[in-house]
Structure 1
Amino acid sequence: MKKRYSEEQIIKAIKQHEAGAKVDDICRDMGISTGTFYNWRSKYAGLEVNEAKRLKELEAENNKLKKLLADKLLEVEAMKDVLFKKVVKPAARKPVARQLMETFKLSERVACRLAGVSRTAFRYQRKDKGDSPVRTRLKELAAQYPRYGYLMLHGLLKGECLVVNRKRTYRLYIEEALQVRTKKRKKLTRPRQPMEVPTVPNERWSMDFVSDQLSNGRRFRVLNVVDDYSREMVGQLVSVSISGRQVARFLSQLVEHRGKPKKVICDNGTEFTSKAMFFWSKESGVELGFIQPGKPTQNAFVESLNGKFRNECLNQHRFRTLDEAKYEIDLWREHYNHVRPHSSLNYLPPVEYAKQAA
């Protein structure tokens, strides 16, 4: 009956009855039963047309809110059922969505939204990549050679023409949990070096590396060598890659120009512990003093210099080429040695302090 008669017609019929018309005449004229008329009167009696429309809108809105609340309560109950499960990857979220659909009769759209997986991923069926022969042979080789890593196993598989791309081998290697437990590298232990205070210039040097990069992203390194007494920058070697041989050759040049120190302090980097440095120490008669691993404070003189160098030079410039970096670094070293006052030297430049000490 709600579809046949509008609120205006219903209110008009009720007003006719209030004006004295009989119920039977109204029902016969509109083609309705008396029960329908009395239902109308119990609902719309005393209302105007606009009020009846507003009442209908409120009822529709109330029904909509009830439905939304029921849906939300159902979603909350469904999520409580799967909160204990760890669902990180899409493969783990698909069973959760399927359980929500089967247990709580949720739609696919709602279940996927609650599980955090797209409907496309939920419907996706994994295709066989033809890895079974490779997987089987990989497991056989891993059992035969238990200490081989994936690169060695990939070489064997490639020799049998089973694979070409090592990424595929690595994927299967990880999926089958064939990782080899690597042997931990024995930590290098060295005795603690006492912090001896030098008494004259050129008695002891310290050296360490500083890294930076050019504007194109290419990395380069700077080897800083400092005199621990006068704080003078003895020399700086700037290059993209610096080996132990280059360090030994650079130190030989510094010795020819400046004289030989008694000792050179450095950390345990591979460049300083190389054979080239060992032979250089034997030939030149300069002792190499290594600090304890992880104790940069034992090489405090050059560490302090590195901080000043980075703050006052490297951070101030954006180098486009290695030649430009060398030029700016040379300018800074000249300024540091001859102009810049040093707080620990009574605010004298290192070169001036060394002259007074001499």
Structure 2
Amino acid sequence: MKRARFTEDQIIGVLKEHEAGAKTADLARKHGVSEATLYNWKAKYGGMDVSEAKRLKQLEDENAKLKKLLAEQMLDAAALRELLGKKMVGPAAKREGVAHLQAVMGLSERRACSLVDADRKMIRYRSRRAPDTELRTQLRDLANARRRFGYRRLFVLLRKGGEPSGINRIYRLYREEGLTVRKRRARRRAAGTRAPILVEAIANARWSVDFVHDQLACGRRFRILNIVDDVTRECLAAIPDTSISGRRVARELTVLIERRGKPGMIVSDNGTEFTSNAMLAWTQDHRIVWHFIAPGKPMQNGFCESFNGRMRDELLNESLFLDLDHARSTIANWIDDYNQRRPHSALGYLTPAAYAANLSATCDRLRNPDQLRRSHLAPPAPHGVKPPEALIAAG
């Protein structure tokens, strides 16, 4: 603030001289001011003493400060209204907020940083990190092709494609590109204790069967019979049709057994297709152990239920089936991709086909003692005893 040449005491003294009879021109010449200034002093301080003049000066200063504070508060409120639709979380968002206030409101950097609650060093920081344009494009294309895959499976696919970046870098780019998968609301599950069933870690040790439903574009409903190997997680068959009876289930299982071999056990729920006379006769003829889960306990058939959830999330909810033939071809292509190319988290992000091949090779080594000794592995277990690595917890 500019310092005044005359204090209140001096101004009151000059006015006292004027009241005593001194001429205006002489006073102006004596004190080095204009006559207009003397008249302004008289209009403002005329009839006051020194204490009253000081009090008036204090009131004027306080009024000026209050006006300034009010103007600043109104400016701050207007600036905050500009940021109502912006989420000020993270350095990038705060940098955008400060730049917006400087461009729109004309605020200084210091003022904008105080409103956004950001450090000026952080606002001025410019990243020297490479833009990763090619990797971002590859990640976006892969996420668009696999819309229900999270960053872990995308990382596995990129690594298989030769990308050397680590999972933390892929996760950062995944978040920055806004590729996070929207979570669908899950149904409430009944809480309870479950005792795991030991199943031998070989293919065809146990199969699970279940149905999943969907509808065509015309509104006609159809169902899919899914058959899953609980150990290798392979989808052995997925048969879509408008109606699948117990006889049809028996016929499809017969064809599958001729192609793949006989399972040690088959698990299903208590649906009418599985409890029909045709299925009971089929199990007796083929001498297959059929295990029915407890009513209202779908997690006892958890492997097939998990597969149904993946099919629902990645295929059925993402596809529009024009007719039954279109549904059959689309489901067949997805099953081939699921078994051959899709990494499975429960298998160490191997594909079910690769895991089945590794499991078969391991079982061959365990059955051949000579090969086992040559590979410097532990000796085989005694006759009739299963080694720990040959058993898995299932169910």
Q: TM-score range by the shorter chain?
A: 0.3 to 0.5
Higher RCO (C-alpha under 8 Å, 6+ residues apart) = 2
